[in-house]
């Protein structure tokens, strides 16, 4: 993976993946790009801890087994702002708009995404699209001789 002959190839293929999945996210929802990024950040943070627990990760890894609300870990407004390089005030305003629209849930401990409840079909479609695009990127890298 550290082969310098592959750096530009890896960069091109990974950026193609990022742009493709982000385009799918924007097409799949009614949010502007920054709000979609905030929603994605919250969703990823809510379940990031599953990666350190192989049993939980496997239990909630199937397409028909969404993570229950109780195991999601809320993220603070400040953490969202910091992770995206936004000012706290910009993040706070945007997040409040998303809470008011029902796209985020404001708990005592922080923010949790509401898309699993609001639009489970869209969440499933996005998961399938993400898997397809990631597999494509990995296949193209392997075909080009990049070790993964």
> Does residue 148 lie within any of the structural domains?
no
Lowest mean pLDDT among 23-27, 35-39, 100-104: 23-27
Is 60 inside a domain boundary?
yes
pTM of the model: 0.87
Banded pLDDT at 65 (limits 50, 70, 90): confident
Residue 97 domain boundaries: 4-143
What is the pLDDT, as a whole number, of residue 116?
A: 81
Total domains in the chain come to 1
Residue 98 lies in a domain: yes
Q: 101, 94 in Cβ contact below 8 A?
A: no
> CB under 8 Å to 38, separation ≥6 — which residues?
80, 84, 91, 94, 95, 98
Q: Is residue 95 part of a domain?
A: yes
Q: Is residue 47 part of a domain?
A: yes
Nearest partner of 132 among 64, 65, 63, judged by Cα: 63
């Amino acid at each position: 993976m550290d082969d310098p002959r592959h750096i530009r190839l890896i960069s091109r293929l990974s950026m193609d993946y990022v742009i493709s999945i982000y385009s799918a996210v924007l097409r799949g929802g009614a949010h502007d790009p920054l709000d979609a990024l905030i929603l994605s950040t919250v969703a990823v943070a809510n379940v990031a801890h599953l990666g350190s627990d192989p049993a939980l990760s496997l239990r909630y890894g199937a397409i028909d087994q969404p993570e229950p609300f109780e195991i999601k870990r809320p993220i603070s407004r400040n953490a969202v702002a910091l992770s995206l390089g936004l000012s706290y005030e910009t993040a706070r305003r945007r997040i409040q708009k998303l809470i008011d629209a029902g796209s985020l849930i404001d708990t005592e401990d922080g923010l949790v995404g509401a898309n699993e409840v609001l639009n489970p079909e869209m969440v499933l479609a996005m998961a399938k699209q993400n898997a397809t695009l990631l597999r494509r990127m990995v296949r193209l890298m392997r075909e080009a001789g990049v070790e993964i």
